[in-house]
Structure 1
């Protein structure tokens, strides 16, 4: 079924948003129901609306409606002006265009006009009828929950459910991507340009998913951010160069530590006690040639003490000691050189090279720490040998790695070269840095939202939706095939003459017209049949508008019995079928619609079935609207219910809304006219809708004629057309007299003062007159006045 429609532009409709416009008193959106009654005055937009449904039937837009834009919503999907030829709705429309397309003779009653033939089922063939019945059983129906049509409906529900699940999951992920793209990436200039959207983030996700991508570490991110802040730096002119002398020193030290020397005449006591020997050696220069007594014990020194000591401490030991001192000095000098090996600082580098430089600098410092420790160990060994000249000392092991030192130095020099070259590529490097930061952010984001798992789930839902759609399409294909088979079988029974006979039967049965007929006549070659309107057996011309309306509508009803329409779930739209008909014919038109379309049929289980899937009836005639109040209404539960709408035109734009209660419940022109006058009581109302003000004169005159007739049914002065008005408003009241004159001369006529028709409507004057009339009615009979207010849905007036 059709549930609603949005019309951006189509004829007199513009900017119609169904859900926002069509709402009940509780502000709840309302849809089309199974049966829909639409009322609108002439030129309000009824036929324009029917043309949208006619476009659904024909698969093409009407002429002169280029540039139209609309969307029809329903249970078989949305249809726009671009897809009207591919939808699944089965629509039949009776309107002015239907008459022009099929009964052009009624529009142009000359030999140029024609009435298209159609065929309905003729004499029944038992075999064919049984075959059609068997297919009908197999097809079943949605309402009875039987057959393929019920299965198709279940598959449609499953298709819609799975499609909805997939769309929900897909939209949810898309929403997360769009939000992150707009709120996080796009707003952060660190990540790149301001032009960033959902397509951009999808490309970045694809880049992150490629093999080999590694997100930045925290330190690397900090370095990239610093790089973006970096301005061009001057070139670094220094280079790292470290020459280690330990190997040269070690060769000298190894010889000194291992040199073998012996005293000329050794003093055994000193040789066995190196501490004592060092003490003695240190004391020699304090005593020799200076004193004869020991400064420690105050005893006289032996006369030959110096010869004995000189024999012990030979020239060879003196030379060794001197060499050891020289080597120790070399070691101290090398240790003191270490802090000056690397004077280069990181602030001369760009951000990324600075991080690497500091890492290499740290590694070099560790290597030099080991180097210094080795030098200090060598120095300690030399001091040990110096303190024990006559005992050799083992060469200490070396732990430093000269290759590692050279590697660090080479790396630092490479970083200097790289940093210097970065000046020319700084902007390019910033672009790469932004991309790396952005992709790292994306990698973290898709992990947080479990992107991969969501994609797998969405793919599974899409597969399920695809399978459900395929199942639905296959089921629909089978139904279409069977329906085509029914059409083929019915085609074997078709008879154009039966179509004409059915039209005549309707004309005679419902309207009593047996003089005018539609006859099926053979052409000259007797190869085809043509339809011709006759009166008393002769070709009929100069048909009245009423006769044309009766023939056209009976033709439409009979055409619903064509094989391609009979037994199908049709959406039927009937637009104002009572044009130029008198009261009796209007009633019979209602009876025709009720009997052959609207009245339910009883199913085998006793439940109601309907000849239509959905029914729309529009009219401008309040008498016809009154009859439609008695039409068979499908129950809300299980049968789709009914709804009443009103189509109104404010200026150049038509709008649809729910029918007010005074039309839906009371359906009299009297209530309608009162409401139109009531709308004019406030001149500000003209801002929202000015039509009641333009029609005020005629509406007021007609209302007062009816109101005052029942107030004063006897007319004393037949020559005074305004006798009742004078009685009601008071003949002596100057305001009443002025009102009479304006009613007579201005409000409801233009011929006496034609220039008024070329002037703007006097809104304040109309509001003043409207309030005067309403106040007078309330003053004379407040109960009746409040009853009138209630009939149009307004609260009672309290004085």
Structure 2
């Protein structure tokens, strides 16, 4: 605004009560005092000038549809002939300050939701409070929406769980499977194999009942072990040794008495071993001559002893074979399914025959070895040795025949359980298919609720973040309360009304008691003192600025009115240009008396009488 000031209003169209004004041009001065009744246009003039302060047209000029009247226009002529109109409002924001009812509304806000109302000073905190209240309401709505979503989800999930449990119980009862529960059927319904072919799992009533019966089949049999015929040593090696022993002969000195008596021969052989270091017979106590010992040693030489040792080892091996073969027995036929028993018994009978034949063969070999002891000086023929290998092979073949029937039995056990399991699987899938469409629909609805919940949670979190930020802003105190309280006492001429800082916002006390209901005059007074305190900030130069004050003394008594007049004189007299608007005749006269004194020499006082269309002025 530089050094220029508003000289006059050239145009007012569709601006509040002014339809097309002024009809007579009024030239303004440094101090301008406007008087008019309510509805005469004072607030309209102040809003016009506040539009310059804000850099945009005041919202009050807009219609209910958010549009300006089509013929809306205003134009101000400056003292340097510059023009400010409704199309060009920017650039003057730091040079204009307007106090009116809108300033009171925007800068003194109250949160009266508690027993002790909390006030907020300043347009920033006022805006923050309004947004805080709006955000609080939205946050509450969001929390309620979340509660509803959660309740809907829980109720829907509970209903689904009830239906799943009921269907699972049907399956559990039909299959006598106590382990089949809600989780089991839910897992089945969610399996990919089931979902891709669920409609094919539905059975007719007859098929369903057949599968239920098949699922209850009881198998009293278990798998039986297969058996094998094995011997501790390879039979080929044993037979080779037996034949070698049978063919072996030894050279000896003949002693006819021993040759003719096998028992005596053994007795003497054993005794000779015991008397190698003795000279007296342990039996008869007679002396044994050296010649007799030598004679017997020649008869029982090392070759003979080795032969006897080999025969004994062969006999031991044959006995071990016989023991192993005797202990090789298949399972009892009663352990097999009935349909396999007769054939199984036949193979067992053959096996027993082959087993007996092999045992007899081994016993013949054993007897031949014992016979060889008595015929150590000549070879013997053992016919049984040529049959042993064949008999052993026949025994193994008989064992394989027995195992074939055991294998059939075991496969039957496996197949039986497999068929039972297949029947159970069909029953489960049948009953699951009955509720698949319901299950799918319910899950889709649950998923939609979960997505809605996630979206609402994001909304709630965003609101909560904004709520916390606004709450912090409202908890910040930007103003020096001591200064405002001093201004307030000066303005109304008493100290009974004061502001105190709370954790959030401010309390207003009347005689040290929190005031719950402020009068319009008290609200106006507090807001006006805040208005003055803002003008005292370093960034604002009052001597270069336009100050507009619209009715700052609403409802004040006479004494307070005089104090207010003095207060205004003190704080506004150095302004570059002043507009004071009032409907109070007493206040008008108070201001007139002050301004007429300070502007007497300069003729800077302009008096304007407002009526319904801003028509007259006097100087």
**TM-score for both structures, normalised by structure 1:** 0.24
Q: Which structure's relative contact order is higher, taking Cα pairs within 8 Å and 6+ residues apart?
A: 2
Q: TM-score, normalised by structure 2?
A: 0.29
Structure whose alpha-carbon radius of gyration is higher: 2
